[in-house]
């Protein structure tokens, strides 16, 4: 159906994604109604401004009906990207990502932002990436930034401020081997969530092999031979010392990270210590260290 009359124009409660190049006197547009499973497409828009004909399309697999999603045209890949919103009954926030290729909608299965509506969404043509910023969902106002296109195929979004755990340095051996510090089961230090670290290879004696962590804000290494720990190095300034419990040769440490945006991008440094009588004159050994970079989803 192609027409210019008011009887077949898209609904007023709709969203539009545009890509326009005035120098080439061409553009493309796609529109999805937010309360209906309708898709309209406009043909070329020669410059100067000239009315375009809207054509109602009937894709085989349209997104579910929704209010207040975000939408942007990815000119690098020639597709429209739609993300999020809230269901037409106003009960369910959505976090799905769909792309329109001119013939049909396809659901992306990659990682993406959390559910939200009223978010900002635009395509960065200089970098070839679709950006999502902020939004509102279930009483929470977001200020996070996500971008799509990092993996080259455009399938899925990644946070602009990722959390990370980066091991560095080397430990020195004790009765249980060389202590090893890392995240527990892939845990990452996101603000508003609990992060858990795991310290392993402690030795199995709860009386002789007592572990603890140090936490600091710098990572200048210090060789510990003068203290009776040859081959061991300190990798974090010990602003905080945290005793742990040895459970069969391993110990874990969990910490809730405040949901404070000012913490995003902050790096902390941690290292494990364990008592190990007879391993060196001091009777103590260390693990590698880890940089904990706080991130926001």
- Burial label for 111, CB within 10 Å (0-12, 13-18, 19+), is middle
Is the backbone peptide bond immediately before 161 cis, with ω within 30 degrees of 0? no
Beta-carbon contacts of residue 216 (< 8 Å; ≥ 6 apart): 236, 237, 238, 239, 240, 268, 269, 270
CA distance 271 to 199: 9
Q: Is the dihedral of CA 215, 284, 227, 170 positive or negative?
A: negative
The torsion defined by the Cα of 88, 67, 149 and 111, in degrees rounded to 10, comes to -40
Say what the pLDDT of residue 151 is: 40
Say what the pLDDT of residue 214 is: 97
What pTM value is reported for the model? 0.54
For residue 146, the surrounding DSSP H or E stretch is strand 140-148
Q: Domains in the chain, please, with CATH?
A: 2-159 (2.120.10.80), 164-293 (2.60.40.10)
Beta-carbon contacts of residue 226 (< 8 Å; ≥ 6 apart): none
- Please report, in tens digits, the pLDDT of each residue of the chain (297 residues total): 344 444 444 444 445 454 444 333 333 444 544 445 555 555 554 455 456 678 888 899 999 999 899 999 988 788 899 999 999 898 899 999 999 988 999 998 777 788 899 999 999 887 778 899 999 888 888 888 888 764 444 456 666 677 899 999 999 999 999 999 999 999 999 999 999 999 999 999 999 999 999 999 988 789 999 999 999 999 999 999 999 999 999 999 999 999 888 888 899 999 999 999 999 999 999 999 999 999 876
């Amino acid at each position: 159906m192609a027409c210019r009359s008011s009887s077949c124009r898209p609904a007023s409660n709709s969203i539009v994604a545009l890509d326009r190049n005035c120098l080439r006197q061409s553009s493309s547009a796609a529109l999805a109604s937010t309360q209906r499973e309708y898709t309209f497409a406009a043909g070329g828009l020669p410059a100067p401004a000239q009315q375009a004909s809207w054509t109602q399309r009937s894709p085989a697999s349209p997104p579910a009906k929704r209010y207040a999603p975000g939408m942007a045209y990815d000119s690098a890949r020639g597709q429209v990207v739609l993300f999020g919103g809230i269901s037409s009954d106003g009960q369910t926030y959505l976090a799905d990502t769909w792309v329109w290729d001119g013939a049909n909608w396809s659901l992306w299965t990659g990682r993406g932002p959390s559910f939200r509506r009223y978010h900002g969404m635009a395509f960065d043509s200089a970098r070839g990436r679709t950006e999502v910023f902020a939004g509102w969902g279930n009483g929470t106002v977001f200020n996070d930034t996500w971008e799509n296109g990092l993996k080259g195929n455009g399938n899925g979004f990644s946070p602009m401020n990722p959390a990370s755990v980066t091991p560095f340095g080397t430990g020195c051996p004790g009765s249980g081997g060389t202590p090893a510090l890392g995240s527990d089961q892939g845990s990452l230090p996101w603000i508003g969530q609990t992060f858990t670290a795991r310290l392993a290879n402690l030795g199995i004696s709860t009386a002789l092999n007592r572990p603890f962590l140090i936490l600091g804000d710098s990572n200048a290494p210090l060789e510990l031979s003068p203290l009776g720990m040859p081959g061991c190095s300190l990798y974090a300034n010990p602003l905080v010392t945290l005793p742990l419990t040895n459970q069969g040769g391993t110990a874990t440490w969990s910490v809730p990270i405040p949901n404070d945006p000012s913490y995003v991008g902050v790096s902390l440094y941690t290292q494990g210590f364990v008592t190990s009588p007879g391993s060196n004159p001091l009777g103590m050994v260390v693990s590698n260290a880890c940089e904990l970079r706080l991130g926001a989803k």
